[in-house]
């Protein structure tokens, strides 16, 4: 029972760290942040809790092409910009283009449910 409570405390901590961040942190980053307050947490705990949070639909994971999964508490569809120099990942506030899905449907006949777009380039800090 005691272990169970500690697990859910860890999970809530992990959730609040992800929710409090707009930078789409990796598991390693989350682990470092949790460990500051809960030194007994292990990397395995962090991965397990992340999986559960994803299953519960409270967070989502994304791969920007660097092979590392990044997490965020924004679970509605949105586009991302990724800086190729400093690895900044930022949300783009732009409506999802439903037309794209319809275009692909009419081209292929496939049942398209959603799409994802990542924009790559240089952020304002790295542009100069």
Sketch the per residue contact string, 5 through 44, with Zn ion: x for CB under 5 A, - otherwise. Answer: ----------------------------------------
Tell me which of 33, 46, 72, 82 binds Zn ion, using CB under 5 A: 72
Site string for Zn ion, 84-113 (x = CB under 5 A): -xx-x--x----------------------
Tell the smallest beta-carbon distance from residue 96 to Zn ion (Å). Answer: 12
User: Taking Cα atoms as reference points, which of 56, 41, 125 lies closest to residue 87?
Assistant: 125
Number of residues that bind Zn ion (CB under 5 A): 8
Nearer to Zn ion, 86 or 105 (CB): 86
The region of 1-9, 26-34, 66-74, 94-102 touching Zn ion under the rule CB under 5 A is 66-74
How many CA atoms does the CB half-sphere of 8 hold within 13 Å? Answer: 4
CB < 8 Å & 24+ apart, contacts of 80-85: 80/24, 80/117, 80/118, 80/119, 81/118, 81/119, 81/120, 81/121, 81/123, 82/118, 82/119, 82/120, 83/121, 83/122, 83/123, 83/125, 83/126, 84/120, 84/121, 84/122, 85/122, 85/123, 85/126
Contact pick of 46, 50, 59, 83 for Zn ion (by CB under 5 A): 83
State the residues that interact with Zn ion by CB under 5 A: 72, 83, 85-86, 88, 91, 123, 126
């Amino acid at each position: 029972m005691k272990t169970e409570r500690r697990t859910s405390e860890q999970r809530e901590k992990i959730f609040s760290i992800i929710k409090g961040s707009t930078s789409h942190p990796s598991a390693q980053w989350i682990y470092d942040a949790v460990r500051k307050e809960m030194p007994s947490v292990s990397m395995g705990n962090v991965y397990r809790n992340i999986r559960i949070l994803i299953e519960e639909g409270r967070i989502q994971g994304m791969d920007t092409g660097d092979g590392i999964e990044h997490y965020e508490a924004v679970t509605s569809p949105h586009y991302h910009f990724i800086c190729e120099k400093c690895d900044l990942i930022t949300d783009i506030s732009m409506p999802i283009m439903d037309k794209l899905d319809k275009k692909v449907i009419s081209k292929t006949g496939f049942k398209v449910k959603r799409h994802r777009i990542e924009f790559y380039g240089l952020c304002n800090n790295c542009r100069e």
